[in-house]
Amino acid sequence: MNAGFFPLAYVYAIVTPTITINGRPDRRPWGTYVYDVPVGEYEVAVSYPWVFAPECGKNQVRFSLGEGEIRTVTYQAGMIRFLPGKITLS
Protein backbone atom coordinates (compact mmCIF):
# COMPACT_ATOMS: atom_id res chain seq x y z
CA MET A 1 0.00 0.00 0.00
CA ASN A 2 1.41 3.34 -1.06
CA ALA A 3 -0.30 6.54 0.11
CA GLY A 4 1.12 9.85 -1.04
CA PHE A 5 0.52 13.31 -2.39
CA PHE A 6 2.03 15.63 -4.99
CA PRO A 7 5.17 17.21 -3.45
CA LEU A 8 4.05 20.79 -4.11
CA ALA A 9 0.87 20.11 -2.12
CA TYR A 10 2.89 20.16 1.10
CA VAL A 11 -0.18 21.14 3.17
CA TYR A 12 -1.19 17.44 3.13
CA ALA A 13 1.78 16.73 5.40
CA ILE A 14 -0.22 18.10 8.35
CA VAL A 15 -2.92 15.40 8.08
CA THR A 16 -2.75 11.65 8.62
CA PRO A 17 -4.54 9.45 6.07
CA THR A 18 -6.79 6.54 6.98
CA ILE A 19 -6.36 3.27 5.10
CA THR A 20 -9.47 1.14 5.45
CA ILE A 21 -9.37 -2.56 4.55
CA ASN A 22 -12.76 -4.29 4.53
CA GLY A 23 -14.19 -1.70 6.90
CA ARG A 24 -11.30 -1.76 9.38
CA PRO A 25 -9.62 1.67 9.56
CA ASP A 26 -5.88 2.09 10.08
CA ARG A 27 -4.49 5.63 10.50
CA ARG A 28 -0.88 5.91 9.42
CA PRO A 29 1.38 8.68 8.13
CA TRP A 30 1.77 9.08 4.37
CA GLY A 31 4.09 6.37 3.05
CA THR A 32 4.41 2.72 2.03
CA TYR A 33 3.06 -0.15 4.11
CA VAL A 34 2.79 -3.92 3.81
CA TYR A 35 -0.36 -5.69 4.99
CA ASP A 36 -0.18 -9.47 5.31
CA VAL A 37 -3.74 -10.60 4.59
CA PRO A 38 -5.26 -14.01 3.77
CA VAL A 39 -6.79 -15.07 0.45
CA GLY A 40 -10.15 -13.42 -0.18
CA GLU A 41 -12.13 -10.43 -1.40
CA TYR A 42 -10.96 -6.97 -0.39
CA GLU A 43 -12.15 -3.39 -0.47
CA VAL A 44 -9.41 -0.87 0.24
CA ALA A 45 -10.28 2.80 0.76
CA VAL A 46 -8.04 5.76 1.53
CA SER A 47 -9.08 9.17 2.85
CA TYR A 48 -7.77 11.93 5.07
CA PRO A 49 -9.42 14.37 7.49
CA TRP A 50 -9.90 18.00 6.55
CA VAL A 51 -11.87 20.84 8.12
CA PHE A 52 -15.40 19.47 8.79
CA ALA A 53 -14.76 16.52 6.42
CA PRO A 54 -13.47 13.37 8.15
CA GLU A 55 -13.13 11.43 4.85
CA CYS A 56 -11.85 14.01 2.40
CA GLY A 57 -10.47 12.76 -0.95
CA LYS A 58 -11.87 9.28 -0.32
CA ASN A 59 -11.52 6.70 -3.06
CA GLN A 60 -11.62 2.91 -3.01
CA VAL A 61 -10.78 -0.18 -5.00
CA ARG A 62 -12.10 -3.76 -4.82
CA PHE A 63 -10.17 -6.87 -5.77
CA SER A 64 -9.71 -10.58 -5.14
CA LEU A 65 -6.50 -11.94 -3.69
CA GLY A 66 -5.49 -15.50 -4.53
CA GLU A 67 -2.94 -17.84 -2.96
CA GLY A 68 0.57 -16.38 -3.28
CA GLU A 69 -0.62 -13.19 -5.01
CA ILE A 70 0.81 -9.80 -4.17
CA ARG A 71 -1.16 -6.66 -5.01
CA THR A 72 -0.05 -3.06 -4.70
CA VAL A 73 -2.63 -0.36 -4.03
CA THR A 74 -1.43 3.17 -4.74
CA TYR A 75 -3.30 6.28 -3.61
CA GLN A 76 -2.38 9.80 -4.68
CA ALA A 77 -4.25 12.68 -3.03
CA GLY A 78 -5.62 15.17 -5.55
CA MET A 79 -4.73 18.83 -5.84
CA ILE A 80 -8.37 19.70 -5.05
CA ARG A 81 -9.02 18.39 -1.55
CA PHE A 82 -12.71 17.64 -1.89
CA LEU A 83 -12.41 15.47 -5.02
CA PRO A 84 -11.50 11.78 -4.79
CA GLY A 85 -7.81 10.99 -4.95
CA LYS A 86 -6.41 8.69 -7.64
CA ILE A 87 -6.27 5.03 -6.61
CA THR A 88 -4.73 2.25 -8.69
CA LEU A 89 -4.19 -1.47 -8.32
CA SER A 90 -1.23 -3.37 -9.73
Instruction: Give the CA radius of gyration of the chain.
Output: 13
Q: Is 10 a residue whose pLDDT tops 90?
A: no
Q: Which residues contact 82 (CB under 8 A, 6 or more apart)?
A: 50, 53, 56, 57
Whole-number pLDDT of residue 53: 87
Q: Which range of residues forms the domain containing residue 30?
A: 2-89
The total number of structural domains in the chain stands at 1
Please say whether the beta carbons of 90 and 72 come within 8 A.
yes
- Which tens digits make up the pLDDT trace of 41-68? 999 999 999 888 899 999 999 999 999 9
